[in-house]
Amino acid sequence: MQQLYNLMLDAKYLAKNKVDNTVDNILDKYPFEVECPVQEELVKIIPVFRNLEQTLLVIDKRTTLLRKFAEVTVTIIDVTKIVLGLLKSNPFSAFAASQLAQKLQRYEVIVDIILYIIISIDNLVDKLIQRLRDLLTKLNNCLEEPIELSPEIIALEERIRISTSSKGSNTPEQDYRGYFLVLQEELVNNIPLRNVEILQQGVVVSETDKTFASSVEVIFQEARLQVDRLLK
Contact 212, 191 (CB under 8 A): yes
Three-state DSSP state, 32: coil
More confident residue, 180 or 191: 180
* Position 43 confidence tier, pLDDT thresholds 50, 70, 90: very high
H or E stretch at 193: strand 191-200
* Position 67 confidence tier, pLDDT thresholds 50, 70, 90: confident
Between the ranges 8-17, 20-29, 155-164, 196-205, where is the mean pLDDT highest? 20-29
More confident residue, 169 or 32: 32
* Position 72 confidence tier, pLDDT thresholds 50, 70, 90: confident
- 5, amino acid identity: Y
Residue 95 backbone class (left: φ over 0; alpha: ψ -120 to 50; beta: rest): alpha
The stretch 193-214 carries a mean pLDDT of 86
Q: Locate the domains of the chain by residue range.
A: 2-167, 173-230
H or E stretch at 30: none
pLDDT at 4: 65
Tell me the pLDDT of the chain averaged across its residues: 84
DSSP symbol at 148: -
pLDDT digits (tens, 9 = 90+) for 123-144: 888 899 999 999 999 999 999 9
More confident residue, 173 or 212: 212
pLDDT tops 80 at residue 211: yes
Between the ranges 80-94, 106-120, 193-207, where is the mean pLDDT highest? 193-207
User: How far is the C-alpha of 209 from the C-alpha of 23, rounded, in Å?
Assistant: 45
H or E stretch at 174: strand 173-176
pLDDT tops 90 at residue 36: yes
Three-state DSSP state, 202: coil
